[in-house]
Chains A and B, each alone.
Chain A
Amino acid sequence: MDSRDAVERLAREEGTRVLATLIRVTGDIDLAQDAVQDAVVRALERWPRDGVPDSPRAWITVTARRRAIDLIRREAGRAGKEAEAMSLLDPEGEPAETIRDDLLRLMFTCCHPALSSEAQVALALRTLGGLSTAEVARALLVPEPTMTKRLTRAKQKITHARIPFRVPPAQELPQRLAGVAATIYLIFNEGYTAGAGADLIRTELSAEAVRLARRLAELMPGEPTPLGLLALLLLHDARRPARLDEQGHPVLLADQDRSAWDAARIREGVELVGAALRHSPERPDPYAVQAAIAACHALAPSYAGTDWDAVISWYDVLLTVHDTPVARLNRAAAVAERDGPAAALALVDRLGGLDGYPWWHATRAELLHRLGRTEPARSACLRAVETGLSEPLAERLRRRLRA
């Protein structure tokens, strides 16, 4: 086994666990990161020479903890923390339950609403994902010094404003959990929308988000939001192999090669949708409902063979918990397939506040085209381009209008 790969893999898997506990005990994210980083560097030096230890996980944990104690002792003014830090020397280590709770605490701290969503995304990738600052910067298309500053500010705010390291109490949990889910969803979308030819680390963000959602679902097994989120991400990710054509241009759902979809991810996603909905009988979780819509598409044999009744019903449920103009626009697109373009256009035209949204204009162009209203369709297409419809999609729409 290549020890460098092995160490890096272990550091990634175990580093976050060790990190979470060290942050709780030391109350210092930077110190905890330094200690874990140091343990990884030592492992990389030693293991190729002395061989990989029997329990690499324990080795990294113990080494990181010793290093943390050294760092604490070295710093003045930390006398109060020293006694607490000594508990790190306990050879038994923390019980599994405490480590689990520490990971959850870290998730809620990184996604605290007092931090900007940009800072939340960066912190989550840095601490929970175990990416280096340089990697986070590359993944989010931000210059490294900017990212360093962003992370430093966020960590200073956590320290100075005392953003607590804890799982929120029951009455705040739904809202805070929604915040964690939103951050993971943002990370997924960063990777999902990265075009062909993008840096691999950028497209890998989707996989990172799936990992984070999976971890969140494992940590909070009774909660519908993590299950719904994981289901939604898996069902979207399942379509990834068919999303781009050979030139790297996006392919619309109607035109995707369904045989290229990832059947295993679809199976898992569909099962999770069921579980998420069973866990939230009264007020369905918005992610679970969006996942249910994605599941309808994933299970349809073809675009024409889609169960549009089911899709529209799920959109009706979605509007009861997440009523946005974009959700209504997507519902109208499904209505077009079931009831025809005139019924859909009436719904689309009734929506306000989407004049700056290219998909509103593109949807109007498509519906007007289907109704044979060539001139209005052309001007809607122009508006779609003006408001930022990407060139490949605009070209596809223009081809439709010429046909």
Chain B
Amino acid sequence: MPLYIALTYTGEVDWTRPEYAEGLREYAAFEEAHAAVLRGGHALYPTATATTVRVPGGGGGDPIISDGPYAETKEALTGYYLMECADLDEALAVAAEIPAARYGTIEVRPVHPSLDT
């Protein structure tokens, strides 16, 4: 069955902070309810922890490391799920249940089969 990735775009959330405990419980409930199709997924630390790596000159050069990118928009990539679903309709139905769908947006993309493991 095809794999889909659901990328959550929301306001920045630091899940380690105690005020987000209720939100974490919502995610736990979502993961339990959809365990049959979920093949992985994580919340990400805020964009302030992001680091960019590029290798210039088409390779061969030294990697250039830089801070960021910081979110320039209100909504940033804050997490992802991998889902194995029969078709797009099923993937969209599961994605609609991700708590982030209520306060952010979810981008659903099919995963290229060559990346299946």
A residues at B contact (CB < 8 Å):
112, 114, 160-164, 168
- Name the A residues within 8 Å of B109 (CB-CB): 161
11 residue pairs of the A-B complex, CB under 8 angstroms, read A112-B88, A161-B88, A161-B108, A161-B109, A161-B110, A162-B86, A162-B88, A163-B88, A164-B86, A164-B89, A168-B89
Most A CB contacts (10 A, CB to CB) among B88, B108, B109 go to B88
A168 to B92, CA, bound (A): 13
Seed contacts A162-B87, A164-B89; 18 additional CB < 8 Å A-B pairs: A112-B88, A114-B88, A114-B92, A160-B110, A161-B88, A161-B108, A161-B109, A162-B2, A162-B86, A162-B88, A162-B110, A163-B87, A163-B88, A163-B89, A164-B86, A164-B87, A164-B88, A168-B89
B109 (CB) vs chain A CBs: closest residue = A161
- Name the A residues within 8 Å of B92 (CB-CB): 114
Total contacts A-B at CB 8 Å: 21
- Name the B residues within 8 Å of A168 (CB-CB): 89
Nearest Cβ in chain A — how far from B42, in angstroms? 23
A114 to B110, CA, bound (A): 13
Per the CB 8 Å criterion, the residue count for chain B at the interface is: 9
Nearest Cβ in chain A — how far from B12, in angstroms? 28
- Name the A residues within 8 Å of B108 (CB-CB): 161
Counting from the closest, the 6 A-B pairs by CB-CB distance are A164-B87, A162-B87, A161-B110, A161-B88, A163-B88, A160-B110
B residues at A contact (CB < 8 Å):
2, 86-89, 92, 108-110
B2 (CB) vs chain A CBs: closest residue = A162
Most B CB contacts (10 A, CB to CB) among A112, A114, A161, A168 go to A161
A168 to B86, CA, bound (A): 14
Nearest Cβ in chain A — how far from B105, in angstroms? 14
A113 (CB) vs chain B CBs: closest residue = B92
A40 to B2, CA, bound (A): 35
Nearest Cβ in chain A — how far from B83, in angstroms? 12
- Name the B residues within 8 Å of A114 (CB-CB): 88, 92
- Name the B residues within 8 Å of A164 (CB-CB): 86-89
A169 (CB) vs chain B CBs: closest residue = B89
Nearest Cβ in chain A — how far from B114, in angstroms? 12
A163 to B88, CA, bound (A): 5
A164 to B87, CA, bound (A): 6
A158 (CB) vs chain B CBs: closest residue = B88
A162 to B92, CA, bound (A): 11
Most B CB contacts (10 A, CB to CB) among A112, A114, A162, A164 go to A162
- Name the A residues within 8 Å of B87 (CB-CB): 162-164
A164 to B91, CA, bound (A): 11
A168 (CB) vs chain B CBs: closest residue = B89
B112 (CB) vs chain A CBs: closest residue = A160
- Name the B residues within 8 Å of A112 (CB-CB): 88
A112 to B89, CA, bound (A): 10
- Name the B residues within 8 Å of A162 (CB-CB): 2, 86-88, 110
Nearest Cβ in chain A — how far from B62, in angstroms? 36
A322 to B86, CA, bound (A): 35
